[in-house]
Structure 1
Amino acid sequence: MTNANDRSLPRAVRMAMPLARDVVEQIAKQYGVCIRPVALQRLDIATGKSEIIDVPCGATLESKCPSCAKRNRQLRMAQCREGWHLEAEPIITPDEADDYQRCLVEVRADAQVWRDQAEAAGRSTDELDAAIAELDDEINNAGMRGNVLGRMVGKRCRSTKRRQDAPDLPRRKMSASTLGRVFHAPDGKIFRPSMFLTLTLPSYGRIKEGVPVDPSTYDYVRAARDALHFSKLVDRFVQNLRRVAGFDVQYFAAVEPQKRLAPHLHMAVRGTLPRAEIKQIAAATYHQVWWPAIDEVKYQGDHLPVWSDGVGYLDPATGELLPTWDEALDRLDADEEADPLHVVRFGTQVDVQGVLAGTKDADQCIRYLSKYLTKSIGDTLDSENQAQRLHAERLADALRFEPCSPTCPNWLRYGVQPKSAKAGMVPGRCRGKAHKPEHLGYAGRRVLVSRKWSNKTLAEHKQDRRTWVLEALGVADEPVDPHRYVWRPVPHGDANVPPLALRLLRSVHERQRWRNHMNQLQAQGDGQDLSATEGKAAWASVTS
């Protein structure tokens, strides 16, 4: 073996040798160890013992932590598989309130009346407000969800009258079911098929190999705005789908980029509808963006609004206060002839596949749904493709001054104060997710799951996998009191935290021990010789 510390060796030879630190990270990835663990201090209230625990970072992107991203992908696949072809309604009926909970609500009612009387009489309500806040907290602590008052702020909305250029949709009487139709074969078999949908945005210009044939005619502005509001369009599609289906359709969907860098949707749907109706729903679905107009640029370059403490943004020339976000929307609501800022629609390409439970097609669709979950939307960009890189830069330029939300600083460019305006806002320097190059304008969630898909949260699915592993290892999954431990972040540079490489080595050893134990249990189940299995496992751990 060549010694890396032998200085007589040529520099090129020594530089070609792998770095030990890099090998540690590679082995950690191989064994599924988090390479960016978060050190937390855990204090046991019962015993007073304090120790530092490495907690996985939980990253969902492979570029940050491959091990955590892989676990998250497997967890999403299990979630999709468990809820797609359910045969029983995943509905939980809320429990009846007990006497103590009812008493709290009665006291809350009295306190509300006392506060209303004090306010009507012109007396101070500070003490009553504090008492009501304590009562609301106690109501939640007693095991009741939500707030007794519900939504207090009115929701701004415009007319729900459908556009004249959108086709009408059939509506069926709604039922509380979340399951689709059941088909009975002549031989007595029962089939409950489901669907796998793919929805895309419309064309913005001719595309060849993922780039526009003529960039000068490609509609980058429309592409940017469609990407910004794509998540709202998906919400409208689900609403229309449920109205036409006549039952509470449940779905598991993933948003992925196309080669042309536009987002598109893959959706697993429980239940089935005719293909013609799905395409009709997609054609009739749209989302109107009722925001102030941005066709006129009022401030740019060095001529930008000036911030005044306690007042807001002012015109730099006249000192006039710019209209606030609510004032701009009020003007828009008062104009009966106003048009929406943008209308988002789906394209004509709609793919519908029927899927049966337990088939190869179902497994293939699940893998396809989760294929790109470990990658950022911008990771599909080929950095070596000059034409595609220029295409992405043109899309980023179109997105730069597009408002991504009511709080976006770009509204100052068009003479409107953003919602919750603050000092330091500059048009073109929005820190929102949509304006980051790796997101290509899409700021929504990558995975969309309906509430009654599997009747479990992602944390509950994770607990199910943990229980399975512990049972396989022969370890009892004893419940832990959630109030027993107090977790605190460890400051950066704490002397009690070992170096990252040392923590990775310890985690790799622990994973090797777990893997060998699993191999032994599997060998016992298969009736193999344990001594031979241990030898193979030890040799594999050395040679892998």
Structure 2
Amino acid sequence: MMSVLDGPVITADMARELALSQKVCIRPLLRRVHDRHDDTEDVVALPCGSTREAVCPPCAYKARVLRMQQCTAGWHRTDEPEHCPAPPRDDQDEDQADDDLDRRVRSTRRRQDAPDLPRVPQENRTVGRVFATADGREYRPSMFLTLTMPSYGAVTSAGVPADPPNYNYRRQALDALHFARLVDRFWQNLRRAAGYKVQYFGAVEPQRRLVPHLHAALRGAIPRATIREVVAATYLQLWWPSFDRPVYVHRTPVWDGESYVDADTGEVLPTWDQALDRLAADPEAKPVHVMRFGRQVDMAGIIAPSEDADRAVRYLTKYLTKAVADTHTSEGGPDPAAEAHADRLHAELRFLPCSERCANWLRYGIQPDAAGPGLQPGRCASKAHDREHLGLGGRRVLVSRQWSGKRLAEHKADRATVVREALLAAGLVAPETERLAAAVTLSDGSPRFVWTDTRPDARTYARVLLASIAERHRWREQYEAAKAAGPLVDNRPATAPPTDPG
């Protein structure tokens, strides 16, 4: 009988469909590896690591499961995390207040139309309080919270504007661009009002109307009245130069080697610092944008371990693998009204400034902060302007520093360790993680494995993909056999299955 790896029976498309069903990366990076010890060569598949289901469903699934583990690990802790690293910007929230540039010109007084924040004595803890029942049982509840943005106009049941010409696309676009900053301000205010260092795992997701909202797991229980007070008292003011009226529409400032100048007059555009100085000197200056959360706030108490806790973790990470623009996508195809809604929002986002360094400031006659050559209005490098992201170009997962005491990479390593220990306990040798590593050397100290790029044809792609499927199947059989052979040290819930070894 001919092997599927040897004959031309299996096409690239067939191998791809099989890989999808077996949760194997369908768009791997193929690299040629030369083993200098055996003088052999082979093509190796490296997972693409995409977090988007539309790009690679298997890799997106693994990324989501890893986030589920991270969420579960920190939600119902009973002890304080011992290891609290300073995380990178793309992994965890930095809990920063307004930028120093905003402080330079903004008023330090609270807005008169915003209620005062409740303040209580602060405790140096991150875990929730323990409550006791009449019969002596103890439990430590936590919470699941959802915050939404206000209305920008009436929408239909399908989530599209009922009256598009009168729908406030500009405000929705600005709120989306700065949503993460408003969320940061909320956590700062909540900690002051709750009286302890509230820790959270949050996911920023779009509603069907393409408006961002936040789902968050909170460690510990906070009175619902307090949360509602904090939501009502939280706002964000944007103290920026005005960008209501564009100065350059049909022409663009040019770079003269040192600054951006008017192409016709040669006049140098004011720098970002000069624009802020003018704003600070204006006694009538007002923030160009003020944003708040909407009135709808959903809160639920969660006790773990429980099915409610597992269900909440699954729901919290449900849309992490989807792009913002895919909110309206269904099996029947895109809805024309929804596509038109996304197009109009994208058109508004194209020329709005997303940050102090946004190239769109040139459209309003101001040089961006730290300006350099090559900037063009409407072509900012930030993902927030893309139609795929529709304003949410930053982090989709917001995790506080002391949530689990581990980085995401450490959680991934923990998952691999569980599998390896299970295999070793059953007398099986786990696949060696360094088996093809560039750090492996020969007796003379030179690298044993030499990696080079390759452009395989469809037949090679199918062969390598099938080999990856067979390898995964073999590892899975070994792991299941190890679990059946004896007890497994793995306390994670069913929401977070362990990864394959290797």
Shorter-chain TM-score bucket reads 0.7 to 0.9
Greater Cα shift, 207-216 or 485-494: 485-494
Q: Which residue number in structure 1 is paired with residue 499 of structure 2?
A: none
**Aligned-pair identity (%):** 52
For the Cα contact (< 8 Å) 1:178–1:248, is it kept in 2?
A: yes
How far residue 462 of structure 1 moved from its aligned partner, in angstroms, is 0.8
For the residue of structure 1 that corresponds to 2:455, the secondary structure is coil
Q: Provide the C-alpha distance between the structure 1 equivalents of 2:322 and 2:134, rounded to a whole number of angstroms.
A: 46
Cα distance in 1 for partners of 2:218, 2:64 equals 19
Distance 1:188 1:335, change over 3 A: same
Q: Which of residues 443, 461, 481 is equivalent to 2:393?
A: 443
Quick check: 1:177 aligned with 2:132? no
Any residues of structure 2 matched to 1:304-323 within 5 Å, and which? 304-309=252-257, 311-323=258-270
1:263 to 202, 207, 212: 212
The within-5 A match list for 1:211-222 is 211-222=160-171
Q: Tell me what 1:29 maps to.
A: 20
Per the TM alignment, residue 265 of structure 1 is displaced from its structure 2 partner at its CA by 0.5
45 and 85 in structure 1: CA distance in 2 versus 1, 3 angstrom threshold:
farther
After superposition, what is the alpha-carbon deviation per residue over 1:420-478, rounded to whole angstroms, capped at 9, x for unaligned? Answer: 32333222222320111011111121111111111111111111110111122225678
Structure 1 position 331 matched with structure 2 position 278 = yes
Could you list the per-position Cα deviations for residues 468-508 of structure 1 after superposition, in whole angstroms to 9, with x for gaps in the alignment?
1112222567897999357987335389x993222111111
Alignment of 1:20-99 (within 5 A): 20-39=11-30, 53-92=44-83
Gaps of 5+ in 2: 1-8, 86-98, 441-446, 488-502
Conservation of the 8 A alpha-carbon contact between 1:254 and 1:266: yes
1:214-243, Cα deviation, whole Å (9 max, x unpaired): 112211110000000000000000000100
1:378 equivalent in structure 2 = 325
1:456 equivalent in structure 2: 406
Three-state SS of the structure 2 residue aligned to 1:461 is helix
The answer as to whether partners of 2:154 and 2:161 remain within 8 angstroms in 1 is: yes
Q: Distance in 2 between matches of 1:248 and 1:239?
A: 9
Give SS of 1:207's match. coil
Tell whether 2:370 aligns with 1:420. Answer: yes
In the alignment, which residue of structure 1 is the partner of 2:467? Answer: 506
Q: 2:478: which partner in 1? A: 517
TM-score by length of 1: 0.76
Cα offset, 1:381, TM superposition: 2.4
* AA matched with 1:186: A
Structure 1 unaligned spans of 5+: 1-17, 95-152, 527-544
1:91–1:455: 8 Å Cα contact kept in structure 2? yes
Partner of 2:152: 204
AA aligned to 2:193 is V
From 442, 452, 472, the equivalent of 1:490 is 452
CA drift at 1:409 = 1.6
- Alignment CA distance shift 1:449-1:44 (3 Å): farther
Amino acid across the alignment from 2:187? V
- The amino acid across from 1:340 in the alignment is P
Q: Decide whether the 8 Å contact of 1:39 with 1:489 is kept in 2.
A: no
1:51 & 1:508 partners in 2: Cα distance?
A: 16
1:421–1:43: structure 2 CA closer, same or farther, 3 Å change rule?
farther
Give the number of the structure whose alpha-carbon radius of gyration is greater. 1
Instruction: Kindly indicate whether residue 296 of structure 2 is the aligned counterpart of residue 349 of structure 1.
Output: yes
Question: Which of these residues, 177, 188, 191, is aligned with residue 239 of structure 1?
Answer: 188
Partner of 1:11: none
Residues 451 and 296 of structure 1, relative CA distance in 2, 3 Å threshold? same
- Contact 2:118/2:230 (<8 A) preserved: no
Q: CA RMSD in A?
A: 3.0
Aligned equivalent of 2:235: 286
What is the letter of the counterpart of residue 491 of structure 1?
D
Alpha-carbon separation, structure 1, partners of 2:384 and 2:291: 16
| Deviation for aligned residue 1:198 | 0.4
1:163 to 103, 111, 117: 111
Which of residues 171, 175, 179 in structure 2 aligns to 1:230? 179
Once the two structures are superposed, residues 500-530 of structure 1 have per-residue CA deviations (whole angstroms, 9 ceiling, x without a partner) of 222111111111212222343345459xxxx
Instruction: Quickly say closer, same or farther: Cα 1:88–1:524, change in 2 above 3 A.
Output: closer
CA 1:45/1:484 → structure 2, altered by over 3 Å: closer, same or farther?
farther
User: Which is worse superposed, 471-480 or 30-39?
Assistant: 471-480
Q: How does 1:182-201 map to 2 (within 5 A)?
A: 182-201=130-149
Question: Separation in 2 of the partners of 1:457 and 1:400?
Answer: 34
* SS class of match (1:437): coil
The whole-number CA distance in structure 1 between the counterparts of 2:392 and 2:37 is 47
Matches within 5 A, 1:137-152: none
Q: Is the 8 A contact 2:33 2:44 kept in 1?
A: yes
Q: Which amino acid aligns with 2:377?
A: P
Asked if 2 retains the 8 angstrom alpha-carbon contact of 1:396 and 1:437, the reply is yes
Contact 1:40 1:488 in 2 (8 A): no
Q: Deviations over 1:54-89 (max 9, x none)?
A: 322111111111111111111111111111000001
Tell whether the 8 Å contact from 2:152 to 2:168 is kept in structure 1 after alignment.
Answer: yes
TM-score by length of 2: 0.82
Kindly provide the CA deviation profile for residues 259-296 of structure 1, in whole angstroms up to 9, marking residues without a partner as x: 11111100000011111111111111111112111122
For the residues of structure 1 that align with 2:167 and 2:382, how far apart are their CA atoms? 25
> 3-state SS of the aligned residue for 1:399?
helix
Matched residue type, 2:113:
D
Distance in 2 separating the partners of 1:294 and 1:334: 18
Alignment CA distance shift 1:508-1:333 (3 Å)? same
Amino acid at match of 1:194: S
Aligned residue for 1:499, secondary structure, equals helix
Matched to 2:252, the amino acid is L
Which deviations, in whole Å up to 9, do the C-alpha atoms of 1:72-128 show, x marking residues without a partner? 11111111111100000113499xxxxxxxxxxxxxxxxxxxxxxxxxxxxxxxxxx
What is the one-letter code of the residue matched to 1:55? L
